[in-house]
Amino acid sequence: MNTHLNRGLAGLAAVALMAAAPVMATAQQTESKLYQVLDRGYLIFGTGSTNVPWHFVDENNELAGFDVDMGKIIARALFDDESKIEYIRQAPDARIPNLLTDKADFTCQFMTINTARAQKIEFTIPYYREGVAMILSKTGSYPDRASIDKALADGKDIRMAVLQNAGAEDTVHDVIEGVKIDQYEEQGLVFEALDTGRADGGIVDLSNVLWLSKKFPDRYAHGGDGEKASSYGCAVKPGDQIWLNFINTALREAMNGRDFNMYASSFEEWFGVRPPAPKIGFPIENR
């Protein structure tokens, strides 16, 4: 008797759950940031304004840079109009708080993906992979990597400038061994040391080297990369899988699908290198 009763109650519970499923799905869609943004008619995008080539104010007093272009990709995916964006210019320490308090719908601001941050926000798929690299002065004593290597082999002192931090020596040695290391409190001072000849080279982010050697090809040269890589991802407030899935879909198609030209043109503009076009057939990114 009790067995039949339990089965009956279980059946009723299953029917009730099935009936409630469409209501639950509708509620989830209504609450998702995706539908809120679509109803609003524009995207609220958090990014910076002081770091070339990622996000900066150009000569027309408008935001520009690779991060800014990622926002345009999402706006285009939402509204077929990349101009439908309200920008939130924020300092790096405001990236996560502005997401958590809904001041920004999402953020792209050269944010390194790591597990500590992933406990607070949700990252998208990576849209760029950063590393360290050597930048050299074409007008200096060592205009290329071969001249640096020869000087070291001849026993000469070679000085590398790097931003001051706890892992600065490891950062330099990841690119080149056997050099003297000068640490500076600000990134701009690293380039100043190179420009004035106080340093024979600098160790900075690869993106800086690519940008400067493209922007000033007669002044700077790329002296080689390190092996350590870190991924940059955009980010959203946690708990909204529909919104995260949409942004991931837009980024994935920009890097590997029908919107590739928009992503590739931006990459080439800011870093001087055009990414390889996705091949037809098996999606190679799944390997």
Query: Domain extents for the chain?
Result: 33-121+237-286, 130-230
pLDDT bucket at 286, cuts 50 / 70 / 90? confident
Per the model's pLDDT, the better-predicted residue between 36 and 14 turns out to be: 36
pLDDT at residue 10 in the model: 52
> What share of the chain in percent tops pLDDT 90?
80
- In CATH terms, are 33-121+237-286 and 130-230 the same topology? yes
Q: Is the previous residue joined to 53 through a cis bond, with omega within 30 degrees of 0? A: yes
Instruction: Tell me which residue has tokens 């609450």.
Output: 31
What's the average model confidence in pLDDT over 53-78? 96
pLDDT at residue 263 is higher than 80: yes
CATH number of 33-121+237-286: 3.40.190.10
Distance CA 121, CA 105 (A): 12
Q: Is 12 exposed, middle or buried (0-12, 13-18, 19+ CB in 10 A)?
A: exposed
Fold of 130-230: D-Maltodextrin-Binding Protein; domain 2 (3.40.190)
pLDDT at residue 24 in the model: 46
Total-model pTM = 0.82
